[in-house]
Amino acid sequence: MDMYKDRYISLTKKLETVLNQAIEDKYIPGANLLVLKEGQEIAYCQAGYTDVEGRIPVRRDSIYRMYSLSKPITGAAVMILMERGLIDLADPVSKYLPGFVNQKVATDAGPIPVKRDMMIKDLLSMTSGLPYPDPSHPAGREADEVFRNIIDNLHSASAMTTLQIANSLGKCSLHFQPGEHWMYGTSADILGAIVEVVSGMKYSEFLKKEIFDPLGMKDTAFYVPSDKQDRFAKLYENVNDTFIEKPTNNLGIEYTMKNPPAFESGGAGLASTIEDYAKFATMLLNHGELDGVKILSPKTVEFFTSGELLPGQQEDMRNRETLLAGYTYSNLMRVMKKPGLAFLNGAIGEYGWDGWLGTYFCNFPNEKISFLFMMQKKDSGTDTLTRKLRNIVMAELF
């Protein structure tokens, strides 16, 4: 890598300039960014604060709420079960979760039976018909009732477990027939519950045993213990040019994350650091291995990271997620198919995902590059700042 030293210094400076400007403009309170090539760091930047009031600066080991960046890890957990012959992606979800027996689909004329059982593959592709809470349609309103119940009981002795929540969601109406459309929803939470049933252990225990401990992801879990709380980034919103902390239990994830939760959300529940998540990303780029530890086989990684939607499902994704133009979706991640349609500079075959508060990762398998960005800004996902930073990396390294 020494021959590229000047180039990497230039890249870091350009990234720092944009990141520092975002801090100065009070666009975000703080963030860090990491770029790797063939597992080696070629750029790292950090700026701002994880705790504005306490003036605690962002560090390499700052811990962030992952929200939907939990999903690729859940996808990998399912791949582990698949390659061991413990599940079939054509298995009906009802084989593992009784709440999914005899499901119904909401229609204007009332609920109707499903034409076929929901399958594990539907969950991985977000073609299940399971919505997130949404007041605009009946299925979304039913899901909202479940999540209200989760949040209302978060701190009680009757806090709902991962399995209880999955079965409750299974009893709700679907927004469409399984496999007929695409819509982002609670599918990953159901997959976490299936992993529990198949493995015979709590979802957190499975992830720790099969992914986190082998990869050395020591700061990744469904809660942040007391000795790590000083590294835990707060969530902020800019109100009248001032950052105001915005505690939220969105999607049943307790804001402080101080204690192990009853609900271990495969779709939104993990906390992690940029370096921990980089280990996961690098493992995938290395065809399933990191530092001699094998998590997945190369062929499973290829399957995991290269799927796509059927044409009608792809049209749904295009209509629902305008800024994901150029991408398809499979196994709980976006996959770039048509870079010319995208809103950022991309490459065929890149894959990854993001989280509600701005956590983000993508891998470029052909170039062996990983890009990771962590911040805690409400309603962010793949943010305009993320795209600007990514475009710099694409211009410098591709």
pLDDT of residue 6: 81
pLDDT of 5 reads 77
User: Which tokens is 112 given?
Assistant: 């109707």
Question: Following CA atoms 327, 79, 77, 376 in sequence, which dihedral angle do they give, to the nearest 10 degrees?
Answer: -10
| CA-based nearest residue to 94, from 70, 71, 128 | 128
What pLDDT is stored for residue 2 in this prediction? 61
Q: Are strands 293-294 and 327-330 parallel, antiparallel or unpaired?
A: unpaired
Tokens 């039913």 sit at which residue? Answer: 142
pTM of the entire structure?
A: 0.97
Strands of the chain (E only): list them. Answer: 30-37, 40-51, 56-57, 64-65, 104-105, 112-113, 236-239, 242-245, 271-272, 289-290, 293-294, 327-330, 333-336, 351-354, 360-364, 369-375
Predicted local distance difference test score (pLDDT) of residue 4: 65
| Bridge partner residues of 105 (DSSP) | 112, 174
- Give 10-residue mean pLDDT values along the chain (398 residues): 75 98 97 96 97 98 98 98 98 98 95 98 98 97 98 95 98 98 98 98 98 98 98 95 96 98 98 98 98 98 97 97 97 98 97 98 97 95 96 95
d(CA 368, CA 371): 10
CA distance 318 to 71: 20
Extract the tokens encoding 346: 């991309």
- Identify the pLDDT of residue 233: 98
What pLDDT is attached to residue 7?
A: 79
Three-state SS at 164? helix
Distance, CA of 357 to CA of 235 (rounded, Å)? 8
The helix/strand/coil state of 190 is: helix
Q: Cα-Cα-Cα-Cα dihedral of 219, 220, 222, 227, to 10°?
A: 0
